[in-house]
Structure 1
Amino acid sequence: MNNPGPSMVDWGLAVAVGSRLAGQGPVVSREDAAAVVAELRAGAARSTGLVRDFSGLQAADDTAPVVVVDRPGWVQANADGFASVLAPVVDKLAGRARTSGVAHAVGSRVTGVEVGGLLGFLAGKVLGQFDPFHPPAGRLLLVAPNIVHVERELGVDPHDFRLWVCLHEETHRVQFTAVPWLGDHLLDQMHALADSLEPSGLLDDGFRRLTESLKGGTRGENLLEAVSTPEQKEIIDRVTGVMSLLEGHADVVMDGVGPQVIPTVADIRRRFNKRRKGVGALDRTLRRVLGLDAKMAQYRDGAKFVRAVVDKAGMAEFNAIFDRPENLPSKAEIAAPTAWISRVL
């Protein structure tokens, strides 16, 4: 009997598990917490003009609000986003799965615990995030306790560090609001991925490959790669190209603007880059399996790509990359900027 029920993921349970695992973060007095929230909001507002002047991208000021959240707030926001964005994937899998109502209910809770565990781990790592899929035009999330935790851990000037984070995250807000088709393009890729999914494809040899990854085997695949078919990997490669561009562009902007407004930016960058490598064997393993190592590569490779194109052609010519989806770089072009210049410019 095909009875998928309302959802293949118990999102309420995922939020509960994720929030519990995430914890509350560093101890901060109520007065200091309010001051941090106010400073982050002011830093994001100040960053808008700085990003515009450096990048040449013009974002509407009245769209995509800035929301300062704690760790449970980040978990809730991402669970809401996943539930919406992954709806076509979940619907497709549910429509093809043949399960009883009881089996489905049990499965949704198991999946809820798994998703909650992932969100709980990430909730302690993320400093900020732009959610392009939140209606009507996205929103910028700044995770206050994580920013305070990292600035203390690095021993950097807290006010400089908060503005530095805001510059990076505000660049993402500018990217998506100045280029309104960008969010739809990424959503189209999600739909294409959903169209390629088969429930059996998740069970063939994905878990064997994932086990090899956990053991540090030669394949070294992360969770997504371990359960992907060649067709799905093509889509993932397209998304990787876009995300490398966006993350690298944000790093270039923050490093370009930083010296003008952040006195200790060089020290912050040096210490933060060291931290990005992860600490401890468990942390490094989880980063590899969850694809966070690939995320770090996106910052590095994307920034090299952006700098190479801007050095060759200038920022105004580089911005042709945002004219239409066809101008976005492929994953291969991220590693070969001259190929993108030849194709587009």
Structure 2
Amino acid sequence: MFSLHEPPLFTRLRDARRVLVAGAGGGFDVYAGLPLALALRAAGKEVALANLSFVDLYGLDQDVWLDPDVAEIGPGTEARGDYFPERTLARWLELHGLPPTVYAFNRAGVQPLRAAYRALVARLGGVDAIVLVDGGTDILMTGDEAGLGTPEEDMASLAAVYGMPEIEHRLVCCLGFGVDAYHGVNHSLVLENLAALDRDGAYLGAFSLPRDSREGALYLDAVAHAQASTPSHPSIVNGSVAAAVRGDFGDVRFTERTSGSRLFVNPLMAVYFTVDAVGLAERNRYLPRLEQTVLTRQISTIIEEFRDTLPRQRPPRVFPH
């Protein structure tokens, strides 16, 4: 039974002792999970951080690998270039006296990614919960919408975790409502999907990330650190969320990467939307077709083929107010 005084996400995780918080969509998605990890750690839980990585991990030293598709990244892990979100976060964690390890998954299809998750869970001594975190909301798309955003990595993560029934709690959190508009996501359809999940009993509500909370302040610090550490490729998603957490509004500029675009930073970007991963997976119309994939490009092909079979797509809808 849920109660108004506690977000349902934390009710679900109340009895969990060990939790894996994992960025689902690659890039800096793990940063969107950092406030959750900090809150769960403050509640006395063991929390590990992981991320689907866009880095060429195969150039890493052999001693960091736990499995062919998951590596243990620390502050001193050597790699080419400054773009390495997992290492950047590990360095920030070390600066703040927190366990400085972030696990990195290779971009892969469902079968190897699930094997990598299981290898990591075994390394951690088992977990009671996996919380997938999406920077944005395109993981909530079911497949028949006019625009899906960038679904390949999100769907690989969702399908991989959906096929792990041995994990008691499998949850999804989205932070950054509105940022996927640049990739064609219509957010009226996001809300329609959330309503459908609510009817199924799979919507776990929403809550904001307060600027004046410990988690909010540390998140802002981590995003600023990442922007300074990765000047050539700062995160647009987390930069937008951080601006929203600070109370900025409208066309806020924090990187040259957004030049030529008009942003709409607003308080909804600082809100977590949370759902049950199993319920979300079972509403997705093409996820079963991804089960035997090995490569990310196979996921792209299957999604395109599925969309070619649709008699129609759900058209974008404008907000009525």
Please give the range of the TM-score, normalised by the shorter of the 2 chains. under 0.3
Q: Choose between structure 1 and 2: higher helix proportion.
A: 1
Bigger radius of gyration among the two: 1
After TM superposition, the score normalised by the length of structure 2 is 0.26
After TM superposition, the score normalised by the length of structure 1 is 0.25
Q: Choose between structure 1 and 2: higher strand proportion.
A: 2
